[in-house]
Amino acid sequence: MASPIQEILFGSPGTGKSHRVDKIITPTRLKITKSQNIIKAVFHPEYTYGDFVGKLLPITRMNTVQYNYYEGHFLRALAQAYKNLIDVKGDIKSCENVVLVIDEINRGNSSAIFGSVFQLLDRDDDGWSSYSINISDMELMKIIALSGIEVPYDNKGDIDTSIAKFKKAQDEYEYLRFDFMNKKIKMPPNLSILATMNTSDSSIYYMDSAFKRRWDWTFITPESETIEKEGIAFQNNDEWIKFISQLNTFIKTNHKHIRGIEDKQIGRYFIKGEPIKKSCIQNKLMFFIWDSVFSRDKSPLVKLLYGNQSNNDLVTFGDFAKDVDNFISKIKNFKI
């Protein structure tokens, strides 16, 4: 099983982002070939949390209105990931991967669409969500039905939550890290989420900094290539923490060019793990600096990289990202 991917591919329209997801990342990096392990969604202004997780809808049968709970794209992907884990009795190394593909992620209100699922996007080194979230009874029942989890039922057809019977089911599926009693779930490491975003549409719906931080980012150039500078930027966390201290000093020094300075500084967990590659600095950190911190005025970046006398303007993010070595060096040596 490959490590989970949580990545947004971004760039100009028509650069092949969806093609890269379908033809390269899904079959090659995630080793996914079965259609049931690929769930696709397209965000748009009318797409809601109910479409993403699930919702109760009426249906008329024999002149009688009934209400059924219909799973959304995320719940379907999560249940399939659980099902694949159950099929191999929790052996994560031999488990088939599942991918949820979200096209046009910024064309919907992503914060509202994800809702509490947002909390699951933080991942530990083993690929499991760092934190769990509570789900409703309807969501619990739908996950159980879709994934094939076997639980005891009472004579009314409801889940039997008596301690003795329920604890047996809880223990049997311990590897799912699914708290049946308290209705808490985590995302397993065999569930990846891939999304695409056109940078020309970045103003349709605002993505807050906390949401952006929970993704890896890959820039696709107009030539349909990725910007991935080879090499290591920081060997360990000590080097990284020292660097972001300098970076935050640079950001605070230029506060007049920034809206909402408190939300624009960088924490040590913005990028996890060590060593930290230059490609990660390019695609995640530098895009955040470009798109969120200095979104209105790029002049502090021009001055940082090229000095007061320079006529060099940064026109595109690609221009900025390619100068990663210069960016790292200038921040390391930045003085007020």
Give the count of alpha carbons within 13 A of 206, CB side only: 5
Domain ranges of the chain: 6-194, 227-332
CA distance 138 to 308: 61
Closest CA to 18 of 228, 227, 196, 217: 196
Whole-model pTM: value is 0.89
Enumerate residue ranges in the chain where pLDDT < 70.
1-2, 157-166, 200-205, 309-311
